[in-house]
Amino acid sequence: MNSGVIGWSVSSKTDVVQSLHLRTETNWSQPSVWIMSPTDSCLVLGSSQDDGCIDYLYAKQKNIGIARRTSGGGAVLVDPYSLLWVDLFIPRGHAFWIDDIREAANWIGKLWQKTLRQLGINSQLHDAPFEKTEIAELVCFAGRGPGELLIDQKKVLGLSQRRTRAGVRFQCALALEWRPDNWIELFDISSIENFHAIVSNSGTSVQLEKDEVLQEFFRVLNN
């Protein structure tokens, strides 16, 4: 991909969702950006998330797979259309490396915040610890974590990070569309009152084209 981003290696990855999550950077000589293009639809669970509440039969009927990522947090629906999924890799010791986990997440969030602002969308950065609730542990966009972006108190950008000896991997999910009715029935939840309504009202979308957002994001990375 000819992104014109100075100091970053940029590439596109196309595969099924689970395989994309299992891929990892092997060349940590410089920061890198992976533009993820999933070929299927999956509900992606956090690394330690209990799948006991997932209706696998319903998922099969709707042709939605169940995948798992290596970072924590709640589930997020990944498909070829509704999310812009971008992973960023920062080598340990690089000038972009930030030791503090919260500060690092905020830095990533501010890159996306500036991107959206340049496209005419104002968002708010969640500069606070993760809000741990029962529903947030189930659904990514029902929670609030450091660096994540909100529009009118509704989440539009989800972030996770996983650190190793080599560096840190940030996984960024920007909602291009917000259609929870397409996947909310995957959860067989009776313990949380008004679960469906809470989840539906927790997120929103930017309603922008993927390529438009990416081009602006690359410009932000160059500055």
> What residue numbers bound the domain in which 146 lies?
9-222
Contact status, residue 154 vs residue 201, Cβ threshold 8 Å: yes
Dihedral sign from CA coordinates of 46, 114, 144, 168: positive
The pLDDT, as a whole number, for residue 190 is 83
Q: Quick one: which of 195, 203, 100 has its CA closest to 143?
A: 203
In a domain, 19, yes or no: yes
Report the domain count for the chain. 1
Paired strand residues for 88: 33, 170
In a domain, 1, yes or no: no
In a domain, 88, yes or no: yes
pLDDT for 3 beyond 80: no
In a domain, 4, yes or no: no
What lies within 8 Å, CB to CB, of 41 at 6+ separation is 17, 63, 64, 65, 77, 78, 79, 80
- Domain with residue 208: its CATH number is 3.30.930.10
Q: 49-57 — which CB contacts under 8 Å span 24+ positions?
A: 49/73, 49/74, 49/75, 49/137, 49/138, 53/138, 53/187, 53/188, 53/189, 54/186, 54/187, 54/188, 55/185, 55/186, 55/187, 55/188
Give the pLDDT confidence of 78-92 residue by residue, as tens digits.
Answer: 999 999 999 999 999
Give the pLDDT confidence of 97-129 residue by residue, as tens digits.
Answer: 999 999 999 999 999 999 999 999 999 999 999
Mean pLDDT value across the chain: 95
Contact status, residue 168 vs residue 92, Cβ threshold 8 Å: yes
Cα pseudo-dihedral 13, 17, 18, 19, rounded to 10: -20
Rounded-to-integer distance, Cα 13 and Cα 165, Å: 23
